[in-house]
Amino acid sequence: MHTGIRTIYWENNTVVMIDQKALPGEEKLLSCRHYTEVITAIKDLTIRGAPAIGVAAAMGIALGALSLSPASPEAFKKSFSEICEQFAGSRPTARNLFWAIERMQRCFQSALSAKRFVPGEIQQALIGEATRICEEDIAVNRKIGFNGSSLIRDGDTILTHCNAGALATAGYGTALGVIRAAVAEGNNIHVFVDETRPVLQGARLTAWELLKENIPHTLITDNMAGFLMKQGRISKVIVGADRIAANGDAANKIGTYSLAVLAGEHGIPFYVAAPLSTIDMTIRSGDEIPIEERNGAEITVIRGARMAPEGVAVYNPAFDVTPHRYITAIITEAGIITSPFQERLEEIFRATS
């Protein structure tokens, strides 16, 4: 049974999610009854974080299928594909989004190829698959946490960036999952939380999660990390990922690359914690990962207050890519992967396919 933060769940043919835009000021839920509301929630960051986006898309697709009353298998297939395409266009970088859509498409195909055409049965199969994706995500995160906690030592001071916690997943988290597991095993850990401009996922969300669980932490601004490392105050860096290429290059929230370079300079281990569903073996290197560019207003306006003059030119890439040479290890549910990443990843995918 899962008792912690539930980021998203299916209830009475409704997708219910924590409204992350409202945090930390307000703790409220958003209930989506129509699939387009789920697409909007993904686009406007009501729900965010690669695995959580994947779960939201799976549930949103099930919701979309439920709204259809198709007269024929062909008509069902056409409308279902259109819904999937709309989800695929919601955000470009997180591999988990496309992974979840592909799983829903496979489920649809196999339900559709049953002898009788009963739309209600196909819809139920899709709801079942979406809720399975959600439950599996929590179990996978616990495994990542268990595997990763073997790298953590009592007294570690760990820097993390963005939010790779329960809120970025169906629950428990990836990078924060490792921290949660290490704390549960009795280690005294102090977490340094990068505020993570422009949208402040660290300050708003990671700090909220750590406070809830009484895990000791200190909030810093993104530009302070190098100073702390130089002072010897960071023993490890652990971050999540949005997409990992076959060679181990990892895309994560903008600012991650700078941290990895700084960690390398200071001889600090740099870990990426992510499920296998974040790994894209069709992409050879990080150069091929599509990087989302978001609205400049995320930089110029914070909660209605203008931070820069009207009309200023803004560039707002949401992610950057850390080359694998800066990554000490990738922590997955299948184990801890170290260099040579490409060979190790190929082995794991061969064994799991």
Binding site for ligand MRU (CB under 6 A): 48-51, 162, 164, 168-169, 174, 201, 240-242, 252-253, 318
Q: Which CB, 127 or 249, lies closer to ligand MRU?
A: 249
Residue among 65 and 134 whose Cβ is closer to ligand MRU: 134
Residue 101: CB minimum distance to ligand MRU, A: 16
For residue 249, the one-letter residue type is D
Q: Which residue is nearest to ligand MRU (CB)?
A: 240
Which parts of 150-296 fold into alpha helices (H)?
A: 175-184, 201, 207-212, 225-230, 256-265
Q: How far is the CB of 272 from ligand MRU (least distance, A)?
A: 9
Give burial (CB, 10 Å; 0-12/13-18/19+) of 253: buried
Nearest approach, Cβ of residue 6 and ligand MRU (Å)? 15
Backbone torsions φ then ψ of 176, nearest 5 degrees: -70, -25
Nearest distance from residue 76's CB to ligand MRU, in Å? Answer: 31
Secondary structure (DSSP) of 12-26: TTEEEEE-TTTTTT-
Q: How many Å separate Cα 310 from the centre of its chain? A: 33
Tell which residue, 78, 75, 5, 66, has the closest CA to residue 34.
Answer: 66
For residues 339 and 344, give the distance between their C-alpha atoms in angstroms, rounded to a whole number.
Answer: 8
From the list 194, 242, 249, 320, the catalytic residue is 242
Which C-beta is closer to ligand MRU: that of 119 or that of 198?
A: 198
Nearer to ligand MRU, 174 or 247 (CB): 174
How far apart are CB 242 and ligand MRU at their closest, in Å? 5
HSE-up of residue 73 (Cα within 13 Å, Cβ side):
12
Three-class DSSP category at 140: helix
* Smallest distance, ligand MRU to C-beta of residue 7, A: 11
CA-CA distance, 71 to 315, in Å (whole number)? 47
Q: Quick one: which H or E segment has residue 123?
A: helix 119-149
Q: Between residues 127 and 162, which has the closer beta carbon with respect to ligand MRU?
A: 162
- Beta-bridge mates of residue 220: 194
Between CA 104 and CA 58 the distance in angstroms is: 6
Closer residue to ligand MRU, CB minimum distance, 156 or 242: 242
| Active site (annotated) includes residue 194 | no
Active site residues: 242
